Amino acid sequence: MLTANNIATELPISFKLTEEQQLIKETIREMAQAEFAPRAAEIDRDHRFPRENWDLLAASDLCGLPFPEQYGGAGLDHVSYAIAVEELASACATTSVMYSAHVSLCAQPIFILGTEEQKQRFLPPMCAGKKLGAFALSEPGSGSDAAAAKCMAIQKGDQFILNGSKNWITNGVEADYYLVIAQTDQNLKHKGLVALIVEKGAPGFTFGKLEDKLGIKGSSTCQINFEDTPVPVANMLGGLGDGFKVAMITLDGGRIGIAAQAVGIAQGAWDHAFKYSKERVAFNKTINNFQAIQFMLADIQTEIDAARLLVYHASVAQDSGEKFTKHAAHAKLFASEMAMRSTVKCVQIFGGYGYVTDYPAERYMRDAKITEIYEGTSEVQRLVIAQNVLKGL
Ligand code: CAA
């Protein structure tokens, strides 16, 4: 029979942060709250890409946080990376996605799948924050069905010639390196895709209009277009036909980053709602005295804690080298839907003040929504989880 004692000893993993992880959390929190939080409302209102936030991340040696020192990184683990994303998001969601798209969607695949020459060439400037990364998979006519990409890459000698468009590119006009997934042969479907690192300034590479979004308004999001754009074969990540797998491997890591972002957004909203509940008076009491408010605060905190543990679990799996596709999808699915539920409740705690821009509650709610959509919608996460379950993984 199970006793309380042997239940406790059967717990497989301790989620206590190491001293180093705790230090990362405190350091980034301090910086994000002091520097990024005060600018977040203005960035949102003016739809302004906060280049100064990027420069501060670079000066703080954070742009290559999970990569080895030999490539200019900080050599830290992925739990630390998730902590960094969460702390940035709790202050400014725009800054967190600028950061996670750079690290997870561009530098990380180059680190995992690049040749030594590619790593030496691309990673040091990215880790130093001198070059900003982006990822280009979706197209005007294909989002969830990633294999249906129509942007063509035709090989001619030692170059590919790119023609077509890519949509919803985070870091849009601001990035320097774009990891582009393109098709070499429509008949081959996902087996015809190729992953190419395209540099800003390449001939025929132009930008569409900036998207006017519901949230993360400071993040630069646009379409990118290629017209006879030459890309050296030396910039191909993996082999011919590996593009789909490069994209899926990239998104496995990226989805943990978005889950961490969702946790940070929910935590930031909760922090503001909790503070407000201790100040706002109704019926001669501060509203934190009412069970209606206490229960909302309790529910939100419980859900944030559960989501954070899923993020840490997926990050530990990523660091261990085991396949973590399902863990990443669990974390993204739960954390993003939790962030949406939680931020709606935080607006409710603020009442009328939650509905206006004088307080940040409405911004957190708008910023939360995208976490259910980008890097694979909630529906795609359920598909990935189900596919893994059916395979016995
Ligand atoms: N790792 C490695 N390989 C993988 C993999 C993974 N996680 N997932 C699938 N594969 C492999 C499969 O093993 C299979 O290989 P074989 O051909 O050798 O058998 C191949 O890829 C095809 O797999 P599926 O048949 O499962 O592929 P599918 O067509 O059914 O698609 C999908 C599955 C999950 C729906 C996938 O298309 C998907 O993830 N779609 C969502 C795309 C997405 O997240 N887009 C967001 C873009 S980024 C963004 O949001 C913009 C931004 O800047 C933030």
DSSP for 18-57? PHHHHHHHHHHHHHIIIIIHHHHHHHHHHT---HHHHHHH
Of 246, 240, 245, nearest in space to 109 by CA: 246
| Cβ–Cβ < 8 Å for 106, 174 | no
Of 73, 83, 97, 74, nearest in space to 21 by CA: 83
| Cβ–Cβ < 8 Å for 218, 44 | yes
Contacts of 390 (CB under 8 A, 6+ apart): none
Tell me, using a 6 A CB cutoff, whether residue 101 lines ligand 1: yes
Compute the distance from residue 245 Cα to the ligand 1 centre, in Å: 7
Compute the distance from residue 246 Cα to the ligand 1 centre, in Å: 9
Check residue 36 and give its pLDDT: 98
Tell me, using a 6 A CB cutoff, whether residue 297 lines ligand 1: no
Tell me, using a 6 A CB cutoff, whether residue 318 lines ligand 1: no
Tell me, using a 6 A CB cutoff, whether residue 376 lines ligand 1: yes
N-to-C CA span, the chain: 29
Which one of 245, 385, 389 would you pick to mutate in the ligand 1 pocket, going by the greatest count of ligand atoms within 8 A of its CB? 245
d(CA 109, CA 250) in angstroms, rounded, equals 6
| Cβ–Cβ < 8 Å for 212, 79 | no
Residue with tokens 């294999």: 147
Check residue 15 and give its pLDDT: 74
Contacts of 61 (CB under 8 A, 6+ apart): 74
Residue with tokens 């202050």: 91
For each of the chain's 393 residues, which pLDDT tens digit applies?
344 444 444 445 567 899 999 999 999 999 999 999 999 999 999 999 999 999 999 999 999 999 999 999 999 999 999 999 999 999 999 999 999 999 999 999 999 999 999 999 999 999 999 999 999 999 999 999 999 999 999 999 999 999 999 999 999 999 999 999 999 999 999 999 999 999 999 999 999 999 999 999 999 999 999 999 999 999 999 999 999 999 999 999 999 999 999 999 999 999 999 999 999 999 999 999 999 999 999 999 999 999 999 999 999 999 999 999 999 999 999 999 999 999 999 999 999 999 999 999 999 999 999 999 999 999 999 999 999 999 998
Which one of 96, 248, 324, 382 would you pick to mutate in the ligand 1 pocket, going by the greatest count of ligand atoms within 8 A of its CB? 248
The protein residue whose alpha carbon is closest to atom 41 in ligand 1 is 144
Compute the distance from residue 88 Cα to the ligand 1 centre, in Å: 28
Check residue 4 and give its pLDDT: 44
Residue with tokens 């000698």: 157
d(CA 78, CA 90) in angstroms, rounded, equals 18
The DSSP symbol for 16 reads P
Tell me, using a 6 A CB cutoff, whether residue 384 lines ligand 1: yes
Residue with tokens 């754009």: 229
Tell me, using a 6 A CB cutoff, whether residue 383 lines ligand 1: yes
Check residue 393 and give its pLDDT: 87
Tell me if the pTM is above 0.85.
yes
d(CA 202, CA 313) in angstroms, rounded, equals 40
* Angle, vertex CA 79, rays to CA 74 and CA 82, nearest 5: 90
Compute the distance from residue 6 Cα to the ligand 1 centre, in Å: 41
Compute the distance from residue 43 Cα to the ligand 1 centre, in Å: 33
Phi, psi values for residue 386, rounded to 5°:
-60, -45
Of 43, 64, 58, 75, nearest in space to 110 by CA: 64
Compute the distance from residue 244 Cα to the ligand 1 centre, in Å: 6
| Cβ–Cβ < 8 Å for 159, 149 | no
Check residue 12 and give its pLDDT: 52
User: Which structural domains are found in the chain, ordered by start?
Assistant: 4-131 (1.10.540.10), 134-243 (2.40.110.10), 245-390 (1.20.140.10)
- Indicate which residues carry an active-site annotation: 375
The protein residue whose alpha carbon is closest to atom 8 in ligand 1 is 248
Tell me, using a 6 A CB cutoff, whether residue 372 lines ligand 1: no
β-strand pairing of 205-210 with 236-237? unpaired
